[in-house]
Structure 1
C-alpha cells in the first residue's frame, strides 16, 4: 500500500494488464489506475480520464475487506478533481458472513435512486484479469461523512436534546427502508419472501437454517433447542412485510451535519418484520430518564416510527428478534468455524470469530432458554 502509480496518462497503454496473476494486486496503485480506466464509463459520462495515487486498507469491519481508493478524474470541462472510491471484497479465505458479496452489491444497486440514502454502487468486478488478486469485488462511491457520534452514549442532561434528535433522524431513515416498495425494486429476487406477514418469523428461521445446512460440519443440540423454542414463540401479528436492513445504528451509517447521508452494512438484510431492525439497533435508541420521568426509550421510538410509517411494532416482537439474534450469530460464527475446520492454517480473524465470538453466541442461545451457564453451579 502507498503512493506511486498512474500520475500521468500514457497514450496507447494497453487496457488489459499483462501478467494479471502477478500485477493485478489491489494494493498496487498502478494496476488500480489501469483497472479504473478500463471501467471509466462506470465513473460517469463526464469522466475523460482517471489517475489513482493512493490505495489503502480500512480497518473497520470484520466480515469482509474494505479498501479506500483515492485519485483524480478529468471532467468534460478539462479540469481534474479528486475523488475517493470504496472497494469491497471477501478475505482471501472467504467471508465470515455467509451472505454473498454479490447479494450485498445487489442490495446497493436496487437502493440507488430510491428514497433510502446509500452510496452509489458503480460496478461488480468478476472479469478474469481485472478482479484484484483474482477475487471478485465491487466498487462504490465514497460518501463524505463520519460514522462516529461522540455524544450518543453520553448521559449528560445537556446532551439529551441532541441524543433524541439523532435517534429520530435514525428512525426517519429506518422508516424510509420500511416503507420502500421492495417488490417494485426487485428485492423478491434477492431474499426469501414470506408468504404472508404472519409468516415472517418462520420464513426467517427457515431461511437461516437452509443457509446453515450448506456448510454445517457438526451438530448443535443447543441450537436445535433454541430453534424449537423460537418456532413455538414466533409472533404472527406482524402487519406488513418490509425490507429490513439488519445491523443498523451507531457505527453502521454515515453522518454529516446531523443527518444520515448513507446507510451502510446490508449484510444481514432480509424481507420480513420491521421489528427485526429494532432488535439490532446499536445505541441509537438511548434510554433517558430525568427526575423520575421517561424522556426517551424504546416505547417512544416505536411510537415515533408508527407516526412515520403507520406500522405497529410491539415490544414483544422486538424482544423475540433480540432472542433470534443468537441464531444469526451462531450462523456466521459457524460459517467462520467451517472455514477453520477445512484449512490447516486459517486466518486469525476466522479463528477468533469461531472461538471467541462463537463462545458468546452459545451464551446468547442459552439465554433464549433461560439458562445462564456462567451462573449455573457445576454438577
Structure 2
C-alpha cells in the first residue's frame, strides 16, 4: 500500500491523499486585486488534478502587501465575493478542498510581473507604492529603502491578516496558510538580517517570532473551531557566511515548536528568499532534510516541498517519515496530471471526474473511480 495515497488530517480537514498543490503566484489578477479568467481555468485545472489539497497563490491582506500590482487580494469584500463565486463553480468539478495562502510582501513588494524583468517600482510609479518592513533595510542594493513599521502599523497588519482570514472562510476556502517564508513580511520579522528593531518585535529570537505567533493566534480566534490554519516557513536563509546573524534551521525548529503550541494545523517547510546573496545548492529533495529535522520536534503534520518531481521520490519521503505530506509547484504546472500518473505508478486507485474515466491507461484496471455526484 502506498503511503503517499493514505489520508491525512489537518485539524478537522481530511485529505484523500498526501499530495498538495503548493501556492504559486500567477501575477494575473486585475489591478484591483480581483480574480480573472486566468484563475478560473487554473483553479479548475487544479480541481481536476487528483491532489489531496490545493493552496492557491499568495493572496495579499493589504494592497501594499502585494508582491506586484497583478497579485490577488483579500483586503475587501468585493474580492471575497468574486472568489466565492469562483470557488462555487470550481467545487462543482470535484470534492478536492481548496486553501488560500494569506501574505504580506513587506519590502519585496511593489514589483513588476517577474517575466517582464523590470524589478521594483518606485512609490511614484503608476504600478508602485511605498514598501514597509520591520526595519528600513532594502532587500537589494537596487531597491529603495522600505518604511520601518511603527507599533501602531504592526497592529494594523495583524488586523488585516485577521480580516482577510474571516473573508477567506466566508469565501468558502477549506484551509488557511499564513506565509512566513521566502523573504516576505513575516519572514522579515523572523530574520535578524532584516529585523534590526530594538522593541518587543526585534532583538531576541522570542521577540522576532512574536509577530508570526500573534498573527496565528489572532487568526485562530476568528475562524471556526477545528478550521485548519497552517504556516509556511523558510527553514534557513541560506547565508552560511552570516549563520550567527541569520535565520537558521535551529531557529525554525524553535519556531515550529511554538507554532504547534499556539495551534497551527501543520508546518509547510520551504527555504530562502530573504537575502539576495543567499547560496542555495538546488538538487532533488534539497529542502527535505529541513522538513525531516523539524518533524523530529513537533507532533503536527510537516509538509516537504522543493524539486520533488517523481512518484517514487515522493513515496519514499513519506514512507521514510521525512515528512507527512509533499507539496508540488513547478512539477504540477509541467504535468497537471502528475497525481494520476503517480497513482498508476504506485498501483493506487484514484478518483477522477467521470468524464475522464475512459482515459485510464490500457492494461490498468480499476484504478480510476468517478467522483460521486452530490
TM-score tier (shorter)? under 0.3
Question: TM-score, structure 2 length as denominator?
Answer: 0.27
Pick the structure with greater CA Rg.
1
Question: TM-score, structure 1 length as denominator?
Answer: 0.27
Q: Which has the higher contact order (CA 8 A, sep 6+)?
A: 2
